[in-house]
């Protein structure tokens, strides 16, 4: 069996709000030094899969910059290897990728020209560690046109997923997209294995969505198998789920620290992290190049973050090169790259300090959207002594509390 | 001013005996420094930042780890179609060949390589130095000096002249006197051991001198000859420069990185020191951990207390353990409740639970190497396993495991050693 991997990485990630203004959802930083897509790329190479196309479309620069020729994953190869495919003009009427199935169809030449007999389609925006070999083995054994990876989820979570019913012999017999309530126990994980010749036939003009236009029509004839996956799997679908699954890493750290399954990523060249005299760092994940002089607890610091003296960072996620000024307090917040928090400023938490006025430039406060987490976009600046309440979304490069 | 093309030769073959067990398995330029670096990273980073893209590294002594670290030079952008980075090991050839018998002899033996180079200048560097320098300033000085040779010098305190080659210069920068390790000297400019030559001049000079000295050495033979001919100038480098000569200077320079404002500027985002990348995750600290005044690398896992120490990638500090004033190399594990003070712990060591290392009377020098190990530091060699519960004093030398019969399950007094016969440095 030879497998070609196609990773869907074109989504706009609107649900991640200010974090995806300048980057693809799959390029969102995660876990102190990674990007979300590192997880499925690492899964691929650990599973012995080395022919990988990443289908990008939205803000691809961040993704291209990160993946490059695929060197960190040993995907810079003479044959196979990794490459990024964006919508192109092919001489006929050209469009953007209109949906998941359309993205595959627009690259059908790649599938036709490949020597692979099996096509593995993944989503680039999920956090999980999975050996694809048992899944591919299961697909081969069942001999169906399509095999879906599925996972049992609790009743309260089912409205977030495409839920499926699995028969006793392992076939998928029904599919409901985000049902209000469902008796189906398994969620589809957006991981599909296709028989190549079937996929080539099934794709075509007007077929936009993999689930509705490719998988659903097969349910009746019983040609869809379901492979139950039991490990950790999380879809970064909202600020809330991003925040939650990030901080879960503090308990579930094997996800990134397993020596047998390292997550590969683009390297950085920063010096070791420096915990200064009088600093207090506990229950946290801290990357190279950080300089901590204050207190950091329950948090994740990406490379090159500075936490000045008497500053407190609690239950927060801080992306690369952000700086938290002297005496500032950052609680339950996500700071994107290059954010500057002025001295004695207050960000997130119960809303101490002066809050950004609801009408202030660049700030809005949709409490429900973020579950009370303050999110500051790339390069945002909070002036000395100013405040940003929990739940506030701050657009990239805006200034909060600047002097009149 | 456009500078003429300069090619670099890095001398990386020295034995580094005074680093004791640290250079038992590796060349001195490959010794770990500052947690994630190797000593040679500083020189290689300087090269690429100075626009030099053709570098030859002369190795000789246990070069495996060095060659592996350097690879094809990718981390320094030296993997190139033309130029790039190359390792020159002593080799047998059609004509007589030999080991490199001195620093200048190493260059002499590579004259065939030198001849073919398309360059005006040859910059000769050492792989054992820790400093950040833009060589373009040196090259510019050299080209303006009107002499065929230049040496980099740094100011040193009067009391330290006996450790260096000391130059006296006239107003134009030409060297008028050069003394090798003088007890007392009126000069305070120490040679950094980095030399810039006009290529053709270097070749003819080496050919001339090699006939007289088989163990041709830059400090001993070449520089004095240039001084007597008034053919060499001194370029004064104003920055921080350190020759990692002894275990003591290594330990001091390492812990100096923890100062509020270290003289070595590692934390300039625009010009980081480049090294081979590693895939470790960011470091993880648990609730019970307490870290202060320390450098911690990716891949570390800290549950205990760490003060004034350097943790290289992959170090594990278990619950209740305490590490102070110590340098821990890659992948060391300090067991639960163990204590490590004033120690240099080489790669992959395990300190067993509740063991205590490094406390004692610093006045008792090491029995085996009193000259190197008399300053209150214990050195633990690569992949040593220290049994649970034992006490190891200060100024101790330990290398081995219980299984290989080297380390008995008993305490070691100050200045003692557990080292296999064939390993005794």
* Residue B271 contacts A, CB cutoff 8 Å: no
* Residue B420 contacts A, CB cutoff 8 Å: no
Structure confidence by residue, pLDDT tens digits, B304-325: 999 999 999 999 999 999 999 9
| Among candidates B281, B286, B292 on the partner chain, residue whose Cβ is nearest the Cβ of A279 | B292
pLDDT at B409 over 90: no
pLDDT at A361 over 70: no
| Among candidates A256, A277, A304 on the partner chain, residue whose Cβ is nearest the Cβ of B269 | A304
| A241-250, B276-285, B395-404: range with lowest mean pLDDT | B395-404
pLDDT at B421 over 80: no
* Residue A204 contacts B, CB cutoff 8 Å: no
The model's confidence at residue A359, banded by pLDDT at 50, 70 and 90, is very low
**Is the Cβ pair A264, B279 closer than 8 Å?**
yes
* Residue A272 contacts B, CB cutoff 8 Å: yes
Which residue of A lies nearest to B45 if distances are taken between CA atoms?
A269
Contacts of A302 in chain B (CB under 8 A): 282
* Residue A287 contacts B, CB cutoff 8 Å: yes
pLDDT at B343 over 90: yes
Residue B181 near residue B163, CB atoms below 8 Å: yes
Contacts of B255 in chain A (CB under 8 A): none
**Interface residue of A45, A258, A288 to substitute, partner B, most B CBs within 10 Å:** A288
What global pTM score does this model have? Answer: 0.91
pLDDT at A358 over 80: no
* pLDDT (average), residues A47-51: 95
Contacts of B290 in chain A (CB under 8 A): 280, 282
| Among candidates B267, B285, B292 on the partner chain, residue whose Cβ is nearest the Cβ of A271 | B267
**Interface residue of A251, A270, A272 to substitute, partner B, most B CBs within 10 Å:** A272
How many Å apart are CA A117 and CA A138, to the nearest integer? 15
| Å between B400 CA and nearest CA of chain A | 25
Q: Which helix (H) or strand (E) holds B204?
A: helix B199-210
Nearest by Cα to B131 from B238, B57, B43: B43
How many Å apart are CA A67 and CA A70, to the nearest integer? 5
* pLDDT (average), residues A282-296: 96
Structure confidence by residue, pLDDT tens digits, B90-137: 876 655 567 788 899 999 999 999 999 999 999 999 999 999 999 999
Residue B241 pairs in a beta bridge with B131
Which residue of B lies nearest to A265 if distances are taken between CA atoms?
B279
* Residue A45 contacts B, CB cutoff 8 Å: no
Contacts of B283 in chain A (CB under 8 A): 273, 285-287
| Å between B31 CA and nearest CA of chain A | 17
Cα angle: B105, vertex B109, B110; to 5 degrees: 120
- Write down the pLDDT at residue B324: 98
Contacts of A289 in chain B (CB under 8 A): 267, 269, 272
**Is the Cβ pair B272, A304 closer than 8 Å?**
no
- Write down the pLDDT at residue B422: 66
| Å between A177 CA and nearest CA of chain B | 36
How many Å apart are CA B158 and CA B24, to the nearest integer? 33
Contacts of A72 in chain B (CB under 8 A): 277, 279
Residue window 137-196, chain A: list those with CB within 8 Å of chain B. Answer: none
- Write down the pLDDT at residue A352: 38
Residue B348 near residue B330, CB atoms below 8 Å: yes
SS (H, E, C) chain A: CCEEEEEEECCCCHHHHHHHCCCCHHHCEECCCEECHHHHHHHHHHCCCCEEEEEECCCHHHHHHHHCCCHHHCCCCCCCEEEEECCCCCCCCCCCCCCHHHHHHHCHHHHHHCCCCEEEEEECCEEECCCHHHHHHHHHHHCCCEEEEEEECCHHHHHHCEEEEECCCCEEEEEEECCCCCCCCEEEEEEEEEEHHHHHHHCCCCCCCHHHHHHHHHHCCCCEEEEECCCCEEECCCHHHHHHHHHHCCCCCHHHHCCCCCCCCCCCCCCCEEECCCCEEECEEECCCCEECCEEECCEECCCCEECCCCEEECCEECCCCEECCCCEEECEEECCCCEECCCCEEECCCCCCCCCCCCCCEECCHHHHCCCEEECCCCEECCCCEECCCCEECCCCEECCCC
The model's confidence at residue B76, banded by pLDDT at 50, 70 and 90, is very high
pLDDT at A354 over 60: no
Nearest by Cα to B28 from B310, B244, B215: B244
**Interface residue of B259, B283, B315 to substitute, partner A, most A CBs within 10 Å:** B283
Average pLDDT, chain B: 92
* pLDDT (average), residues A105-114: 90
- A 10 A CB-CB count for A177 gives 12
* Tokens (6 digits) for A29: 């930083």
Q: Under 8 Å CB-to-CB from A208, ≥6 apart: which residues?
A: A98, A99, A100, A101, A102
* Residue B325 contacts A, CB cutoff 8 Å: no
* Tokens (6 digits) for A349: 């938490």
**Interface residue of B256, B287, B298 to substitute, partner A, most A CBs within 10 Å:** B298
| Å between A56 CA and nearest CA of chain B | 25
- Write down the pLDDT at residue A360: 52
| A121-125, A311-315, A338-342, B91-95: range with lowest mean pLDDT | B91-95
Count how many pairs of residues, chain A against chain B, have C-beta atoms within 8 Å.
Answer: 116
- Write down the pLDDT at residue B401: 83
How far CA B414 is from CA of A268, B357, B383, in Å, comes to: 42, 10, 21
- Write down the pLDDT at residue A81: 82
How many Å apart are CA A290 and CA B348, to the nearest integer? 25
| A367-371, B59-63, B291-295: range with lowest mean pLDDT | A367-371
| A69-78, A137-146, B195-204: range with lowest mean pLDDT | A69-78
**Is the Cβ pair B283, A256 closer than 8 Å?**
no
Percent of chain B with pLDDT over 70: 97
- Write down the pLDDT at residue B342: 98
* Residue A41 contacts B, CB cutoff 8 Å: no
Residue A383 near residue A345, CB atoms below 8 Å: yes
Alpha helix (H) ranges present in B211-341?
A: 223-228, 247-256
Contacts of A68 in chain B (CB under 8 A): none
Backbone φ and ψ for A199, nearest 5 degrees, come out as: -60, -40
| Among candidates A257, A276, A291 on the partner chain, residue whose Cβ is nearest the Cβ of B284 | A257
Residue A335 near residue A304, CB atoms below 8 Å: no
Count, residues in chain B: 425
* Residue B276 contacts A, CB cutoff 8 Å: no
CB-based burial label for B66 (10 Å; 0-12, 13-18, 19+): buried
Structure confidence by residue, pLDDT tens digits, B345-396: 999 999 999 999 999 999 999 999 999 999 999 999 999 999 999 999 999 9
The model's confidence at residue B60, banded by pLDDT at 50, 70 and 90, is confident
Backbone φ and ψ for A244, nearest 5 degrees, come out as: -65, -50
- Write down the pLDDT at residue A181: 87
* Residue A307 contacts B, CB cutoff 8 Å: no
Residue A221 near residue A148, CB atoms below 8 Å: no
| Among candidates B75, B284, B296 on the partner chain, residue whose Cβ is nearest the Cβ of A272 | B296
Which residue of A lies nearest to B299 if distances are taken between CA atoms?
A257
The model's confidence at residue B1, banded by pLDDT at 50, 70 and 90, is low
Which residue of B lies nearest to A278 if distances are taken between CA atoms?
B292
Structure confidence by residue, pLDDT tens digits, A75-91: 888 777 887 887 776 66
Which residue of A lies nearest to B74 if distances are taken between CA atoms?
A71
The model's confidence at residue A98, banded by pLDDT at 50, 70 and 90, is confident
**Pick the residue with more confidence: B25 or B194?**
B194
**Is the Cβ pair B286, A279 closer than 8 Å?**
no
């Amino acid at each position: 069996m030879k497998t070609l991997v196609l990773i869907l990485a074109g989504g706009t990630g609107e649900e991640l709000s200010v974090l995806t203004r300048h980057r693809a959802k799959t390029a969102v930083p995660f876990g102190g030094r990674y990007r979300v897509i590192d997880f499925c790329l690492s899964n691929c190479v650990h599973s012995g899969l080395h022919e990988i196309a990443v289908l990008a479309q939205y803000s691809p620069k961040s993704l291209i910059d990160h993946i490059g020729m695929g060197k960190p994953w040993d995907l810079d190869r003479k044959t196979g290897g990794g490459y990024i495919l964006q919508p192109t003009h092919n001489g006929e009427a050209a469009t953007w990728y209109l949906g998941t199935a359309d993205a595959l169809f627009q690259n059908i030449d790649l599938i036709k020209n490949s020597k692979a007999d099996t096509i593995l389609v993944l989503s680039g925006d999920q956090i999980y560690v999975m050996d694809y070999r048992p899944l591919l083995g299961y697909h081969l054994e069942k001999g169906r046109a399509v095999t879906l990876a599925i996972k049992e989820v609790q009743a309260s979570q089912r409205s977030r997923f495409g839920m499926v019913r699995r028969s006793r012999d392992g076939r998928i017999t029904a599919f409901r997209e985000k049902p209000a309530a469902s008796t189906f126990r398994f969620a589809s994980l957006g991981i599909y294995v296709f028989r190549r010749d079937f996929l080539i036939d099934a794709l075509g003009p007007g077929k936009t969505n993999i689930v509705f236009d490719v998988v659903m029509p097969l349910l009746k004839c019983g040609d869809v198998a379901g492979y139950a996956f039991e490990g950790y799997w999380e879809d970064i679908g909202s600020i809330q789920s991003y925040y939650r699954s990030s901080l879960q890493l503090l308990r579930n750290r094997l996800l990134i620290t397993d020596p047998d399954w390292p997550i590969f990523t683009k390297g950085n060249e920063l010096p070791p992290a420096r915990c200064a005299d009088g600093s207090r760092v506990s229950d946290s994940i801290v990357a190279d190049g950080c300089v901590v002089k204050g207190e950091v607890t329950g948090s994740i610091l990406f490379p090159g973050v500075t936490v000045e003296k008497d500053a407190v960072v609690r239950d927060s996620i801080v992306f690369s090169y952000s700086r938290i000024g002297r005496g500032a307090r950052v609680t339950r917040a996500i700071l994107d790259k290059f954010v500057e928090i002025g001295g004695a400023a207050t960000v997130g938490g119960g809303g101490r300090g002066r809050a950004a006025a609801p009408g202030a430039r660049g700030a809005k406060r949709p409490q429900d959207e973020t579950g009370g987490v303050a999110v500051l976009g790339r390069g945002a600046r909070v002036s000395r002594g100013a405040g940003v309440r929990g739940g506030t979304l701050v657009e990239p490069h805006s200034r909060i509390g600047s002097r009149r | 001013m456009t500078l003429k093309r300069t090619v670099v030769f890095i001398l990386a073959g020295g034995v580094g005996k005074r680093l004791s067990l640290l250079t038992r398995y590796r060349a001195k330029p490959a010794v770990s420094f500052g947690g994630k670096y190797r000593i040679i990273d500083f020189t290689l980073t300087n090269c690429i930042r100075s626009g030099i893209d053709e570098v030859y590294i002369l190795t000789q002594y246990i070069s495996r780890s060095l060659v592996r670290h350097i690879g094809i030079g990718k981390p320094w952008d030296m993997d190139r179609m033309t130029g790039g980075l190359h390792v020159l090991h002593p080799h047998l050839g059609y004509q007589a060949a030999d080991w490199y018998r001195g620093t200048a002899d190493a260059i002499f033996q590579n004259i065939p390589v030198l001849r073919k180079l398309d360059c005006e200048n040859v910059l000769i560097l050492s792989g054992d130095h820790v400093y950040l320098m833009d060589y373009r300033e040196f090259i510019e000085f050299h080209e303006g000096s009107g002499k065929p040779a230049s040496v980099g010098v740094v100011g040193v305190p009067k009391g330290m002249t006996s450790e260096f080659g000391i130059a006296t210069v006239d107003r134009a920068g030409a060297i008028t006197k050069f003394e090798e390790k003088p007890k007392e000297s009126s000069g305070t400019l120490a040679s950094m051991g980095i030399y810039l030559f006009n290529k053709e001049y270097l070749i003819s000079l080496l050919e001339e001198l090699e006939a007289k000295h088989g163990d041709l050495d830059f400090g001993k033979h070449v520089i004095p000859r240039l001084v007597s001919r008034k053919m060499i100038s001194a370029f004064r480098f104003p920055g921080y420069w350190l020759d990692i000569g002894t275990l003591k200077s290594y330990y001091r320079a390492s812990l100096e990185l923890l100062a509020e404002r270290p003289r070595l500027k590692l934390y300039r985002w625009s010009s980081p020191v480049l090294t081979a990348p590693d895939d470790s995750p960011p470091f993880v600290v648990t609730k019970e951990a307490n870290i202060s005044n320390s450098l911690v690398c990716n891949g570390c896992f800290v549950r205990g207390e760490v003060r004034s120490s350097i943790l290289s990638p992959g170090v594990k500090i278990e619950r209740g353990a305490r590490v102070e004033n110590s340098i821990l190399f890659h992948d060391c594990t300090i067991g639960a409740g163990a204590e490590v003070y004033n120690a240099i712990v080489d790669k992959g060591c395990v300190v067993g639970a509740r063991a205590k290392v490094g406390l004692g009377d610093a006045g008792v020098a090491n029995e085996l190497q009193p000259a190197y190990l008399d300053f209150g530091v214990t050195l633990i060699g690569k992949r040593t396993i220290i049994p649970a519960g034992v006490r190891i004093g200060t100024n101790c030398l330990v290398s081995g495991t219980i299984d290989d019969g080297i380390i008995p399950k008993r305490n070691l007094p100050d200045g003692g050693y557990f080292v296999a016969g064939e390993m005794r440095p």
